[in-house]
Chains A and B, each alone.
Chain A
């Protein structure tokens, strides 16, 4: 039991940090431009595939550096030549643009790398056991993922709170015209934030690719959960996104580990629930984030730490 709790906590925190790497970019982009970027999870997927392609040809470490930069560049281009163009048609058009983009990216990925998962492996330099606890081993690669995610978190925090660039970004979030008056190129700030957000998602893809499965549906599987994270956390709240990422990461990881059903708990009387009585907690794990979303919206419509009404 203690073993289960320890490892589930570790994996849950890891999954939560991974979610936060993407949710942070998504939240920043949303608070700046009012756009929920539907294609954000697609950047994560492109990151994983670029990482795979580079690791196959050169090695894992060059991919670790280059792939996020490439994804960031693609993100900046998308903002400059796509989003900025539809901006004049309003937020619905912007949301639809990113929706269409996510669809096209999935189709293109299928075209280039096929519909089946690709063989993106953990690099040999990280393929060893980190530690052993209660007779269960924990791979070093997972520790590396955790370290990368925490490092990114610290980096993002320091940039936003301690540097001049962060100051301008924060100011541009709430008072874009004032920032522009002071002589800063606000559209360029937007483009940079979009690019960095995409790069962060790409980095998440590069490190998550070998541990999870690199396949064309990975964006479609993760995207909705990402939206749940930022709606549950409160739209536009970075701290909320952090809390919600960890919450969903932990809840989902623990749910997967629990193999009990309603029938196990209350006995044969669970039959009145039909199929639902025999479903194990592990089986409903994919549903839990959405149930959480509904609960939060019923009891706290602005999200956990949000204060925006729309």
Chain B
């Protein structure tokens, strides 16, 4: 039983770590900032997720207690990661103003719209 637990925990850690590694490799390999932005979303989902599930399994198997901190970490990550990505993207849009943006029907994107800044 102990052996099975250890195998499960190690497998989860290795899966998480390999996704984090691929995410980091993506940061190096991909050509521009906006593409690179896709890499860390990987590291924060399955990368961290693998380690968190491993930690829960470990504590469950070791002292039979349910550890819930991991769920909170997941929750905070899911709340903060999209906001960080959005800030980075918006800052980039402000400085670069790419030419290949699709245009919405009526008003421009909120970053560029100068009429009056009302949030929907």
Query: Do chains A and B interact in one complex?
Result: no
B residues touching A (Cβ–Cβ < 8 Å)?
A: none
